Amino acid sequence: MWIYDKKLEYPVKIKNPNPALAKLIISQLGGPDGELGAATRYLQQRYSMPYAQVKGILTDIGTEELAHIEMVSAILYQLTRNLSECDIKKSGFDAYFIDHTTGVYPQAASGVPFSAGTLQVTGDTLADLYEDLAAEQKARLTYDNILRLADDPDVRDPIKFLRERELVHFQRFGEAFPPKCNGRSRATNNARI
Amino acid sequence: MCDRQRLLKQVRMYHFALVDVGLYLDGHPNCPKALAYYQKYRKLYLEAVAAYESQFGPLTMMANDDPDRWTWSDDPWPWEMEA
C-alpha cells in the first residue's frame, strides 16, 4: 500500500502564470510519454516480474513517478493561476478552459485524453524492461522539447530536475540487465515461462 | 500463523485504524473522541512497526537500517502468496 507524504519531491514555485506554457507542459501529465503513463506502466509490470531486485526497482521508480505526476500538476496549477478572460483567450488556453476550467486534467498537449494505450504490460521480463528503457528516453526528449520552448527559470528549474530523473531511471533500468538474481529472490520458483 | 504474519497483521490492523480515523478527522478535526482514538492507535502502530521491522526487515524504503546489506528488495513482495 501507499502512504502520502505532504511534500513535493522537488519544490515548485512559479511567480508568473503562463497558460500558453501550461498547454504544452500538460503532455508530461497525460501525454503519450507522460508521468501518469510511466507510473502505471512500472507499477503494473511488477506482478509478472520474477526477480526480487527488479520488483524493487519497478516499485521504487513507479512510486517516484507518482511524485512526478504531482510535481507536473503543481507546475500546471501555478501556471494557470489568476487568469483574466483576456489571458485565457490570448494564450490559446480557451479550448482547454471550456472543458476543464483551470482543473488539472491528464491529457496530451494535442488535447487527447490520457490513454493506457500509450503503455504496455506484456508479462515478458525482457520486453517490459526494454519498453521501460524506451519510455525513459521518450520522457527525457519531451522534457528537452519543453526546455526548448520555456524561458521562465522558475519553470525550467523543476523541469530540469524531472529531466535528470529520467536519465537516472534509464540508468537503473539498464542495470537490471540481465535480470538480477542476487538478493533473496524466488525467481527460480516463479519463472516457469 | 507464523510470527511474521502475526506481527504483520498487527501492523496492518493498527495502520487501518489510523487510515480510517484519519479520514474521519479530515472532516471532524476537533472531535476529542476521534483525536484520542488516533493517539492511542498511533502509539500501538509505531510499536508494531518497530517490532516487525526489527525481525523481518523494512516496511518502507527509508526503514532499511541494516548497514551491511540492502534488504528492501528481498522477496516476498506484498502481492505474493508467501507474503
- Domain of A81 in residue numbering reads as 22-186
Cell of A30: 497525460
Q: Is the pLDDT of residue A183 over 60?
A: no
- Domain of B50 in residue numbering reads as 3-59
Q: Which of residues 39-78 of A touch B (CB under 8 A)?
A: 46-47, 52-53, 55-57, 59-60
Residue B37 domain-assigned?
yes
What's the whole-number mean pLDDT along residues A5-28?
Answer: 98
Residue A193 domain-assigned?
no
Residue B77 domain-assigned?
no
Q: Shortest Cα distance from B34 to chain A (angstroms)?
A: 20
Residues A60, B76: C-beta atoms closer than 8 Å:
no
CATH at A105: 1.20.1260.10
| Residues ≥6 apart with Cβ < 8 Å to B21 | B34, B37, B38, B41
Where residue B65 falls among pLDDT bands split at 50, 70, 90?
A: confident
Residue B24 domain-assigned?
yes
Q: CA end-to-end span of chain B, whole Å?
A: 12
Which residues of chain A neighbour B77 with C-beta distances below 8 Å? 46, 52, 55, 59
- Is the separation of the CB atoms in A174 and A133 below 8 Å? yes
Question: So what's the ipTM on this one?
Answer: 0.86
What's the whole-number mean pLDDT along residues B57-62?
Answer: 95
Residue-wise pLDDT for A68-97, tens only, equals 999 999 999 999 999 999 999 999 999 999
User: What's the domain count of chain A?
Assistant: 1
Residue-wise pLDDT for A106-138, tens only, equals 999 999 999 999 999 999 999 999 999 999 999
Residue B81 domain-assigned?
no
Residue B69 domain-assigned?
no
3-class DSSP string for chain B: CCHHHHHHHHHHHHHHHHHHHHHHHHHCCCCHHHHHHHHHHHHHHHHHHHHHHHHHCCCCHHHCCCCCCCCCCCCCCCCCCCC
Residue B46 domain-assigned?
yes
Residue B44 domain-assigned?
yes
Residue-wise pLDDT for A128-174, tens only, equals 999 999 999 999 999 999 999 999 999 999 999 999 999 999 999 99
Residues B79, A47: C-beta atoms closer than 8 Å:
yes
Residue B12 domain-assigned?
yes
Which residues of chain A neighbour B74 with C-beta distances below 8 Å? 52, 183-185
Neighbours of A81 (CB within 10 A): 12
CB-nearest to B73 from A1, A3, A52 is A52
User: What's the domain count of chain B?
Assistant: 1
CB-nearest to A183 from B73, B80, B82 is B73
Residue A1 domain-assigned?
no
Residues B75, A52: C-beta atoms closer than 8 Å:
yes
Q: Which of A34-43, A124-133, A174-183 has the lowest mean pLDDT?
A: A174-183
Residue A78 domain-assigned?
yes
